[in-house]
Amino acid sequence: MKSIATFFLTALLAGSVFAADAAPKAAKPDLAKGEASFGAVCAACHASDGNSTTPVNPKLAQQHPEYLIKQLQEFKSGKRANPIMLGFASQLSDADMRNIAYWLASKTAKPGFAKDKDSVALGEKIYRGGIADRQIAACAGCHSPNGAGMPAQYPRVSGQHADYAAAQLTQFRDGVRNNGIQMTQVAAKMNDREIKAVADYIAGLR
């Protein structure tokens, strides 16, 4: 009886190993195709290396690929509403998105600069410590003290254009952008002055 049980257990384990080996694996990103697709679809707004020079268009270089893929998928599905990005993302397959995202992650982000000396101190205070009496969490808790973010969880924000960062925080606050519950909860408690200050501080963060 014991030998029969051992036989079935061995067979079961062998089947599990076979199934694991047979499971489809994600294809390795093709960076050359990613660069080509980016150049054809994205570079006009985000620059040839992902370091946008237009304040309203985000810098994408060195961003975590998982975050970029998620955003492209949500632009395409309409979960993140943006008519311009819907048009571009609709042209991309999942493989295209993956290739582009990993190619962008391989590029080096260029630093930015804070512009408003009067508000940058407030921005640093909020970014690093939040606002305790209003239960506004510190940005650094998710995006890290130097703004590098956390791979597969929270995006890199250091050096991002202040205009773009402020626009996104405002959209989260006002319910225009609703594809990030944590950001909606934080931004909902912030006023225009605080949003502007944090965005300016982020621009110079490195």
Of 73, 105, 137, at which residue does a domain stop?
105
Of 105, 136, 163, at which residue does a domain stop?
105
Q: Which residues span the domain enclosing 101?
A: 31-105
- For 132, 173, 201, the CA distances from 159, given in Å and listed in that order, are 26, 22, 9
Are residues 130 and 185 part of one domain? yes
Does residue 14 lie in a domain region? no
- Domains contained in the chain, number: 2
Q: What is the 3-state secondary structure (H, E, C) of the chain?
A: CHHHHHHHHHHHHHHHHHHHHHCCCCCCCCHHHHHHHHHHHCHHHHCCCCCCCCCCCCCCCCCCHHHHHHHHHHHHHCCCCCHHHHHHHCCCCHHHHHHHHHHHHCCCCCCCCCCCHHHHHHHHHHHHHCEHHHCECCCHHHHCCCCCCECCCECCCCCCCHHHHHHHHHHHHHCCCCCCHHHHHHHCCCCHHHHHHHHHHHHCCC
Residues 52-82: pLDDT tens digits?
999 999 999 999 999 999 999 999 999 999 9
Residues 11-29: pLDDT tens digits?
444 444 434 444 456 679 9
Does residue 178 lie in a domain region? yes
Residues 93-131: pLDDT tens digits?
999 999 999 999 999 999 999 988 889 999 999 999 999
Question: CATH number, domain at 50?
Answer: 1.10.760.10
Does residue 61 lie in a domain region? yes
Are residues 89 and 48 part of one domain? yes
Does residue 7 lie in a domain region? no
Does residue 24 lie in a domain region? no
Does residue 86 lie in a domain region? yes
Residue 201 has pLDDT above 60, yes or no: yes
pLDDT of 6 reads: 43
pLDDT of 116 reads: 87
Residue 33 has pLDDT above 80, yes or no: yes
Does residue 6 lie in a domain region? no
Are residues 197 and 122 part of one domain? yes
